[in-house]
Structure 1
C-alpha cells in the first residue's frame, strides 16, 4: 500500500547536502563494527514503517526467520510512514543508518541520490524473473538498490449483486464505465467511486486513466491527459460519482462500498481481508476500464523495497544482503503474498499465486504492465504528483476545465 503523505520537499532537499557531506566523510554505521566482511556479526538492525501491531509482528517474524538463515539476530523497529524519510536522512547525516532499510518504492530515488544505499548486485542477489516495472521501482541511475518481495496495484472492485440487479456487465472500457455507473446510480447510492483527494493518493488513483490513454507524467498538459481527467469530471457532473470524492481517501472508498453507497470503486487488494469478513457482500475484481476495447490498463506499482544502506561494517552489509535475498526468494514471496494480499514480484510465483488465490487474479494481471511512479521523473516525481492532484481538485470542483487545470499542473511539475 502506498503512503499518501510525504515529508515536505524543501525539508528533504535541505538535508541532501548534509547527507552527502557526511557520507563523503566516512561510512555509515553505529561505530561498533567497522571491520572486514570476515568479522563476526551476531546481530543487525532493520527499520521500516510497519507500526500497525499485527503487521509489525508479521514482519518481525519474517525478518527473524531470514536472520536465522543468515546467522544473525535482526533487531526490528518501526516508525510512522511520514517520519521514515526524514529519519533516514537524519541518520545518514549522523552515520547511524540501520543495516537493513525498507522504503516505500517512490522514496528510493531520493534516498539513493544521497549515496546512502549500496547497489545490490555487489552482493550477488538474484533479481531474475522480476517484472520490468518492479525492478524499475528499486533502480536508481541504472543500478538496483532495492527489491520488493511483493507489490500491489489498484483495480476495479464491484458489487456483484448490484450489477446483476441492474443488468449491468462489468465495464471494460470508459464508455461502458460511464453507462454502467449511470445505471447503478440511485438515491443513496453512486455508481462509481474514486479517491480524488488532494494527496499523492489522489494522483495514484488517476494514473491508470492517464497512462492507459497514452498520457505521461513528463508532460501533463496534453489532450490524452485532458481526456482522462474529463472522464472523472463527466462522472461527477452526471451524478454517477459523488462530489465527496474530492475528500475521500482509499479507506473512505472502502467504507462507502461496503455500506452499499457505491456500486463500484477503484481500490487495492489490501481491502480484501475486511471484505472477506462480510458474509453478505458479494464482490468481484476486474481490471480498471481502458479507453478502448482490447487495450491493457497501465497501473501504478505500490509496495516497499528492502535496501542495504552504506555502513562502516562490510560484514553487516553482507548479512543484511543475505536477509534481503531471503525475503525475496520464491517461497517467502508466496508466503508474504498470501499473508498480506499482495502480488509476488517474480512473474512465475505470481502466476502460481493467481491460481491459488482467484480473488487476486485481476491484480496479478495488472501488475504485469504496471509502472513505477518514479521510472520517468525520478526524484522529480513528487512535483508531478502535486500537479496532478491539484488539477483533479480544480477540474472536479468546476473551477477550471481539464485543459486549464492540467496546464496549471504542468507549471507546478516544472517549477524550481
Structure 2
C-alpha cells in the first residue's frame, strides 16, 4: 500500500528522531527471515517508562518461548518524539510490523496508510469484553486495541470540603455547575488557598483536549460536528461552547484557578496548596497513600449534559507494510490474555480494559477503593473524535483554550479555531479517501 502524500495533521518531524528510527529497522516490512523463523520488529513509546516496558518485554519473551515460527524483536523510543518519528518512518516506508499508537491518533494513522486492520478473533479475550474506549476502530474496522485506560476525576480532602460546608458528590448526584462554582467561591473566600482549584493549566499538548474538552462536551458543545465530521463551525463555536469558554475564563478571572499551574500540580495538591484537583487516575494510588481515608475521589461536574471524561490511551496495532501480517496478528492474539491485562494494570496503576482483569486486582474489584474510577471510565468516557483530522483539531483547541485563559474573547477564539479546522478539513477533502 502506498503511503499518501497528504497534508497530514501531525506536527513537523525532527530529522534526528526520524533518522534514529529508520536506522533501527533493516527493511520497510518490519519483518526479516532467519534461522529461528521470521523476526517481527515491534516499536513502543515506553523507553524511560520501565514499569510498562517490563510488561511488554514479558509478553514478548513469553510469545517467543511459546513457539519457534516467529520471533518478536523490541525497539523502545522516548514518548516525547514517538508520534512524529512514526510519521517520518512511515513516509520512508520503514515502519515495523508491530507498534503502539495513542488512541486518539488511530484514525489519522489508519487514514494515512500507516496501519492495517487487524483480526484478533479466537484470542482468549474477545474485543467485545473491553471498555469501548480501549478499542481503536476506524470506518467499522478494528485497527488497534489497548490493555488499559485512565480516568479523570476530581480529588479533594473530605475534611477540607466538610470544613467549608461543601458536599462530597457521588455518581448518583454529581456537582452541578452552580454548586461547583459556589464551592470554589467558599474556598477562595476562606483565604486558605490562593487558587482553590488545580486543573493542570501549565501542561501542554494533548492534555488540553483530554482534560478540558470533556467539560466543553458536558456544556453541550464539542470539538467537531460528529454527525459527519465535516465541520467544526456551529459546534466548537456554538452557544454551548461559548458558555463553556466563558466559564473556563471565569475560573482565572475570579481567582479560582491559576492561568498557568506549577510544574507538578499533584505535588501542590498533596502539599495543601489547592483544595480540589482535576487529575488522572494515574495519581490515585499516590493520593490514597498520602491522604488515606480523607481522600475523596469525585466524579466530573455535570454542566448540563451529564458528567464527561476523556477516553482512550495507548493501543497496539499492525503496520500496513508488514510483510508477515499473519505473524504480527499471532503476537497480537497471544498478547490478549487476561493475565497480561492484569499485569499492565498492576504495573502502571491504570484501569484494566476488561472486567475479568479488574476482578483480579483488589483495588479495582467491585467495592475496591478505586472501583469508582472503573465506573467513571465505563459511564463517563467520551472518545475523542474518531477522525483523521483529530491531531489538527487538538492543536487548534489547545491554542484557543490557552488564548481564552489569557483573556481572549471566547466567541472569537473558538470561532477562529473552528474556521481553521474547517479549512483543514476542506484542504484534505474531508478525509474521505
Matches within 5 A, 1:9-48: 9=10, 11=12, 28-30=28-30, 32-33=32-33, 41=37, 43-48=39-44
What is the distance in 2 between the residues matched to 1:144 and 1:102?
14
Which residue number corresponds to residue 61 of structure 1? 58
Matches within 5 A, 1:107-256: 107-121=105-119, 126-135=126-135, 138-171=136-169, 172-185=175-188, 186-197=191-202, 199-218=205-224, 219-245=235-261, 252-256=264-268
What is the distance in 1 between the residues matched to 2:239 and 2:374?
30
Match of 2:283 among 271, 274, 278: 271
Which residue number corresponds to residue 381 of structure 1? 390
Question: Could you list the runs of 5+ residues in structure 2 that have no partner in the other structure?
Answer: 1-7, 14-26, 170-174, 225-234, 425-433
Q: After superposition, what is the alpha-carbon deviation per residue over 1:154-174, rounded to whole angstroms, capped at 9, x for unaligned?
A: 111112232232232125221
Distance 1:57 1:82, change over 3 A: same
Which residue number corresponds to residue 322 of structure 1? 330
Counterpart secondary structure, 1:261: coil
Deviation at 1:412, TM superposition (A): 2.6
Q: After superposition, what is the alpha-carbon deviation per residue over 1:247-286, rounded to whole angstroms, capped at 9, x for unaligned?
A: x5xx632122112111111111111343344367942212
State the TM-score, normalized to the length of structure 2: 0.78
Match of 1:344 among 352, 356, 361: 352
Counterpart secondary structure, 1:371: strand
Distance 1:81 1:222, change over 3 A: same
> Does the CA-based 8 Å contact 1:193-1:242 persist in structure 2?
yes
What is the distance in 2 between the residues matched to 1:43 and 1:360?
40
> Does the CA-based 8 Å contact 1:191-1:264 persist in structure 2?
yes
Deviation at 1:221, TM superposition (A): 0.5
| 1:399 correspondence with 2:408 | yes
* Coordinate RMSD, CA, aligned: 3.0
Deviation at 1:304, TM superposition (A): 0.6
Which residue number corresponds to residue 90 of structure 2? 92
> Does the CA-based 8 Å contact 1:341-1:360 persist in structure 2?
no
Distance 1:341 1:10, change over 3 A: closer
What is the distance in 2 between the residues matched to 1:355 and 1:312?
39
Question: Could you list the runs of 5+ residues in structure 1 that have no partner in the other structure?
Answer: 1-6, 13-26
Deviation at 1:149, TM superposition (A): 1.1
Higher helix share: 1
Q: After superposition, what is the alpha-carbon deviation per residue over 1:344-399, rounded to whole angstroms, capped at 9, x for unaligned?
A: 22355457753267343232122224122132xx1211232223222222222223
| 1:52 correspondence with 2:52 | no
What is the distance in 2 between the residues matched to 1:182 and 1:66?
56
Which residue number corresponds to residue 260 of structure 1? 272
Deviation at 1:215, TM superposition (A): 1.1
Deviation at 1:61, TM superposition (A): 2.4
What is the distance in 2 between the residues matched to 1:214 and 1:309?
37
| 1:335 correspondence with 2:343 | yes
Deviation at 1:312, TM superposition (A): 5.2
State the TM-score, normalized to the length of structure 1: 0.81
> Does the CA-based 8 Å contact 1:149-1:327 persist in structure 2?
no
Counterpart secondary structure, 2:296: strand
What is the distance in 1 between the residues matched to 2:313 and 2:101?
9
Distance 1:254 1:120, change over 3 A: same
Higher strand share: 2
